[in-house]
Structure 1
Amino acid sequence: MTAGHRMAVGKKIALIIIIVILAGAAGIGWYVRQMLEPMQPSEKPVRVVIPSGTGSLAIAQKLEEAGLIRNAAMFTYYLKYKGQGDKLQAGEYDLTPGMTLDSIVDILNKGLTVKEQGTKLTVPEGYTVKQIAEKVNQQFGTDITLFMQTAQQNKDFTAQSFSYIPSNAQLNNRLEGYLFPETYEWKKDIKVEDMLDQMMLELDKKLASLPDNWQESLKSRGQSFHQMMTIASLIEREVVLDEERPIVASVIYNRLQKSMPLQIDATIQYLLDKPKDRLFEKDLQIESPYNTYLHPGLPPGPIASPSLASIKAAIQPADSKYLFYVTKKDGSKGHIFAETYEQHQQNIAASKKNQ
């Protein structure tokens, strides 16, 4: 074998070794990513008990046994990478499969245990940040101004959903729509920023329970998460019956596609100090980017906290050609839908007869 031949063989062997190393590295990278993915979502919480003095590896093993993480060893490496392993607190926790690793770590770091929660706060569906602030004041004695300022200014929230909120000076309340309506139990001395973070972490949990392709639905429409949440909030404030939510969603999308003003009364009510039973022409002339009578397209952001049902409807609207709807006046809280303005006028007249 000549020297040149030996050199060529050596280069081939070196190339093969490099390929094998790269393939191995890619395989390891794929495996690590898989092990750090959330578990299959479930709405049923799992109780995890962490005794005092339990190390991070033992905690990780408990989480794996409970079906909350995929791999205990990988979780401990992740903790070291994040510099979080020595901050996990003992106690009893209710955690939900499908939560991200960051959400689990955040709850364990803050010690948001079942036993220490105690005081309940129920956030109704369709509440605004201001209404939530007033309810927190009643339940916890928290200053309303402090609550509103923290919601508007704090930047240290850990919830994934917080990262979707755009920087937009037109937003009336930055966290509007992102504080998920649910019943919470917290310690009486919980910090305002932790309250807000937990409500957004709850939104993260609910999003984790959606079908895997929900984000693809947004991409196919060229829609941002924030726009979807805005539409979900409009549905929440307009609809009472769950079966009508996807239909009203289709009306909103149909009008947007045709560049028609949405003309949604709930956006006007959002601008008023107190809601009215009946809106007048002067109310429809209030100058605000949230006024969907004066300005085409969506308002700058959500007008309330939507339920999971409204979020699902915003992601998967019904397939319809409806452009109008009017509330029935028969006490059913339902709506009559129409494809044309003429049909809409007939529906309005029919509805009035049932008053």
Structure 2
Amino acid sequence: MSNLKKITVLILLLGVVAGGLFVYNFYNVFFNPNTAFNNEKAFLFIPSDASFDDVVEQLSPLLKNIEDFKITANKKGYSIKGGKYAIVKGMNNNEIINTLRSGNMPVKISFNNQDRLELLAGRIAAQLEKDSTAFLSAFKDPIFLKDNDFNLDNALSMYIPNSYEVYWNLSPEGFRDRMLKEYKRFWNDSRLKKAASLGYTPKQITALAAIVDKESVKREERPRIAGVYLNRLRRNIPLQADPTIIHALKKEENNWDRVIKRVLNKDLEIDSPYNTYKNIGIPPGPISMPDISAVDAVLNAENHNYLFFVADIERFGYHMFAETHAQHVANANKYRRWATRNKILR
């Protein structure tokens, strides 16, 4: 064999070896398992403004070889997208990149019984990416409120307490808009017809339901309490609901942490649209976020002749109901004596 042929064969052999090494390395970098954790899955929360270094920092404890991940990300042109992602045990770099590209997964969030928009913003911020200030700003946006026939007094009624699936990096405005859709879905034809038959708007029903919610933790009793308030409204009698006085006192002082165990006669003089001892009708907005059961209790209120109720001292959590003022005074005196004896004061 001539020297030229030998050189040619050698070059070909070197090419084959080099090609084989390239394929081997390529396969190892792209397709060999590269996870270093023992659980079935590991979750990443990538902020919307994250840099590649931020992603690498989160992934470093989870991968065997972070350099191979970097090479794969570069070759595949990985573009960072915020969200929650699940890295499955045994994934290779190619699969990890594909997941980070298109595997943003929803999270389940929940909220209930928030008394103010500020508390709701804090509750949501604890479950999603943005902070409470951003959520509160979206909730109070005057243009959004005006365009959708809400105001600061009744804006809380738009948020239906429940569990929802959303993306972790959903913007505050996106979350707010989603809740508006849920609000419209909640107020379906059936509920709208029931509200109309009572002569009230959904916002008024929610405001009344918030009082019912505060009055009783017993769901089975709420339709009866709702019936009392509807009877009073029909007869143009003030609701005289203590929870509205508590709300008015806290609102006037801007002290929402204040604990008020017992409403006193002097408290009933407070000048507030939430004072249902002085003002006839439903307050301008909900004093809290009512449970769905409380809303449905108002829409499906019990039909009776009761006009009064007071806490039942023999069945804690329940109430004694009365049709006449005289019956109510007797029940109320029982409660006052018990409350005084047990020092249930402020």
Q: TM-score scaled by structure 2?
A: 0.58
- SS of the residue corresponding to residue 326 of structure 1 reads strand
Hey, what's the Cα distance between the residues in 1 that align with 2:133 and 2:290? 23
Distance 1:331-1:322 versus aligned 2 partners, 3 A rule: closer
Q: Which amino acid aligns with 2:105?
A: E
Does 2:211 correspond to 1:223?
no
- Work out which of the residue numbers 239, 258, 269 in structure 2 matches 1:262: 239
What does residue 144 of structure 1 align with? 132
- Work out which of the residue numbers 228, 235, 252 in structure 2 matches 1:251: 228
- Work out which of the residue numbers 214, 218, 226 in structure 2 matches 1:241: 218
On the 8 A contact 1:129/1:304 being kept in 2, the answer is no
> How do residues 7-86 of structure 1 correspond to structure 2 at under 5 angstroms?
none
Identity among equivalent pairs (%): 30
On the 8 A contact 1:127/1:305 being kept in 2, the answer is yes
The CA deviation at 1:257 is 1.5
Hey, what's the Cα distance between the residues in 1 that align with 2:163 and 2:277? 34
What does residue 295 of structure 1 align with? 279
- SS of the residue corresponding to residue 270 of structure 1 reads helix
Hey, what's the Cα distance between the residues in 1 that align with 2:118 and 2:218? 25
Task: Count residues in correspondence.
Answer: 230
On the 8 A contact 1:179/1:199 being kept in 2, the answer is yes
On the 8 A contact 1:180/1:200 being kept in 2, the answer is no
- SS of the residue corresponding to residue 280 of structure 2 reads coil
On the 8 A contact 1:246/1:313 being kept in 2, the answer is yes
Q: TM-score scaled by structure 1?
A: 0.57
Hey, what's the Cα distance between the residues in 2 that align with 1:220 and 1:310? 18
- Work out which of the residue numbers 91, 94, 106 in structure 2 matches 1:117: 106
Q: Which amino acid aligns with 1:308?
A: I
- Work out which of the residue numbers 293, 301, 304 in structure 1 matches 2:288: 304
Hey, what's the Cα distance between the residues in 2 that align with 1:114 and 1:242? 41
Q: Which amino acid aligns with 1:310?
A: A
Hey, what's the Cα distance between the residues in 1 that align with 2:126 and 2:265? 35
Distance 1:116-1:252 versus aligned 2 partners, 3 A rule: same
What does residue 318 of structure 1 align with? 302
How well do the aligned residues superpose, as a CA RMSD in angstroms? 2.9
Distance 1:207-1:224 versus aligned 2 partners, 3 A rule: closer
The CA deviation at 1:262 is 0.9
Hey, what's the Cα distance between the residues in 2 that align with 1:135 and 1:126? 8
Alignment gaps of 5+ in structure 1? 1-112
What does residue 200 of structure 1 align with? 180
Hey, what's the Cα distance between the residues in 1 that align with 2:265 and 2:130? 38
Q: Which amino acid aligns with 1:263?
A: Q
Distance 1:234-1:264 versus aligned 2 partners, 3 A rule: same
Is 327-336 or 286-295 further displaced after alignment?
A: 327-336
On the 8 A contact 2:206/2:290 being kept in 1, the answer is yes
Q: Which amino acid aligns with 2:119?
A: Q
On the 8 A contact 2:129/2:168 being kept in 1, the answer is no
On the 8 A contact 1:151/1:196 being kept in 2, the answer is yes
Does 2:138 correspond to 1:129?
no
The CA deviation at 1:261 is 1.3
Distance 1:176-1:280 versus aligned 2 partners, 3 A rule: same
Larger C-alpha radius of gyration, 1 or 2? 2
Distance 1:126-1:244 versus aligned 2 partners, 3 A rule: farther
Hey, what's the Cα distance between the residues in 2 that align with 1:301 and 1:309? 18
- Work out which of the residue numbers 334, 338, 341 in structure 1 matches 2:325: 341
On the 8 A contact 2:207/2:285 being kept in 1, the answer is yes
Question: For 1:48-70, what per-residue CA distance to the aligned partner results, in whole angstroms no more than 9, with x for missing partners?
Answer: xxxxxxxxxxxxxxxxxxxxxxx
Q: Which amino acid aligns with 1:254?
A: N
The CA deviation at 1:183 is 2.3
- SS of the residue corresponding to residue 337 of structure 1 reads strand
Is 136-145 or 325-334 further displaced after alignment?
A: 136-145
Distance 1:131-1:228 versus aligned 2 partners, 3 A rule: same
